[in-house]
Amino acid sequence: MAQEGKVRARPLSIVAAACACMGWLLVAPNGAVAEKVRVGVNLTTIETLPIYLVEREAAGEGIELSGGAIPSLTASNVDVATNAETQAILRSTANAEIRVILTVAEYDYRIVARRSAGIRTAMDLRGKKIATSLNSSAHFYIVKTLQSVGLSEPDVTVVGMTPPEMPAALARGDVDAVSIWEPAAEQSAKAIGLDALTLQGPDYRERFNLNTTATILADPTKRAALADFLRAIIRTSLTVREHPEQVQPGIARKLGLPDQIVAATWSLFRFPASIPDDLLESMVEQEPWMADPERRLPH
């Protein structure tokens, strides 16, 4: 039991503001005047859609959007930043103030593999080269997939690669499979056509979260601004869920993608604008895996 307490300490602190205090955050302090929220987002992913819709509604008022993730947050360049839950765990080693305050989107990962590499099932990944973004949620999905068939990470060769590089690398045969978010996964599948095989199944989904810090949450003015921002995300997320046909063309244009890419991957996404009940459980599971390459004990 004592060891369990050690493992849970850090993930619990990361999500404390979200799980215990989301209602508190949405109530702006008396007399607080909201200021513009500086928001760092991933400029290349479909998951960012509800935030883009808030930006469009605001028309330059209330929020200031820029590219950035948790490093931008901890450098005080933004007030909130998007990132998968794996990055909150990873970055909190150096900065224990990181807090998750909302899950903007969830994404069901898949591994896109080459049939010509002899891959038909997850068991066939043994000895194969799999491209991914290292120490990411996509990397963790490889681990989960291997575990589901009794394999482990040393049974494959994990190749670090940026998402835009993956479709061509898969087509050339430099790697046998890729594990990555969209649009790179769908683009990789299209790059090899009928040779593409999709492996999907382990019980894991990426949580694309909005992150801030304990210091920002303790500032009444910033907290008021965040409260307004969260309300706006909750509102636009409802539009995304209820009227996908209205928002898909917009995110396709924003990312410079064909409409078909967004439509083909849409069923893999959810936009809850809430805190999943199993977020803490998932982060506790990931913490030992994140600790291992850092050569430290799990917290």
Q: 166: domain range?
A: 111-199
Tell whether 296 is covered by a domain: no
CA pair distance 282, 275, nearest whole angstrom: 12
Q: What is the pLDDT along the chain (299 residues), one digit of tens a residue?
A: 333 334 445 665 666 555 544 555 555 555 555 579 999 999 999 999 999 999 999 876 789 999 999 999 999 999 999 999 999 999 998 899 999 999 999 999 999 999 999 999 999 999 999 999 999 999 999 999 999 999 999 999 999 999 999 999 999 999 999 999 999 999 999 999 999 999 998 889 999 999 999 999 999 999 999 999 999 999 999 999 999 999 999 999 999 999 999 999 999 999 999 999 999 999 999 999 988 877 777 77
Angle at 287 between CA 282 and CA 288, to 5 degrees: 120
Query: At 215, which helix (H) or strand (E)?
Result: helix 214-217
Q: Are residues 172 and 256 both part of a single domain?
A: no
* pTM of the entire predicted model: 0.89
Write down which residue in 163, 182, 199 finishes a domain: 199
CATH of the domain at 119: 3.40.190.10
Residue 247 lies in a domain: yes
What mean pLDDT value characterizes the chain? 90
pLDDT at 202: 87
Domain boundary among 152, 170, 199: 199
Q: Are residues 151 and 260 in the same domain?
A: no
Give phi and psi for 253, each to the nearest 5.
-65, -40
Q: How many domains does the chain have?
A: 2
Q: What is the pLDDT of residue 85?
A: 96
263's enclosing H/E stretch is: helix 259-265
Rounded to whole angstroms, the Cα distance separating 151 from 171 reads 26
14 and 74: one domain? yes
pLDDT at 226: 95
Look at residue 218 in the predicted model and tell me its pLDDT.
95
pLDDT at position 277 is: 92
Q: Within a domain: residue 22?
A: yes
Q: Let me know if residue 68 belongs to a domain.
A: yes
Q: Is residue 49 part of a domain?
A: yes
Per-residue confidence (pLDDT) for residue 18, from 0 to 100? 56
Clarify whether residues 118 and 174 are in a common domain: yes
Q: Are residues 224 and 152 in the same domain?
A: no
Compute CA 234 distance to the chain's CA centroid, rounded to the nearest angstrom. 18
Q: Quote the pLDDT of residue 4.
A: 37
Kindly list the distances between the CA atom of residue 43 and the CA atoms of 17, 39, 40, 47, 56, in Å, as whole numbers in the listed order. Answer: 25, 11, 9, 10, 15
Domain boundary, last residue among 174, 199, 224? 199
Burial class (CB within 10 angstroms; exposed 0-12, middle 13-18, buried 19+) of 53: buried
Shared-domain flag, residues 263 and 226 = yes
Q: Are 3 and 296 in contact (CB under 8 A)?
A: no
Same domain, 6 and 102: yes
- Report the Cα 55 to chain-centroid distance in Å: 20
CA distance 249 to 226: 28
Residue 35: per-residue pLDDT: 78
Please indicate, yes or no, whether residues 140 and 272 belong to a single structural domain of this protein. no
266 alpha-carbon distance from chain centroid: 15
Judgement on whether residues 182 and 260 belong to the same structural domain of the protein: no
What confidence score (pLDDT) does residue 51 get? 97
> Same structural domain for residues 103 and 6?
yes
Say whether both 125 and 95 belong to one domain. Answer: no
Q: Is residue 101 part of a domain?
A: yes
Q: Is residue 57 part of a domain?
A: yes
Q: Are residues 117 and 185 in the same domain?
A: yes
C-alpha span between 90 and 68 (Å, rounded): 16
Any domain includes 299: no
Could you tell me the two tokens for 87? 């990055």
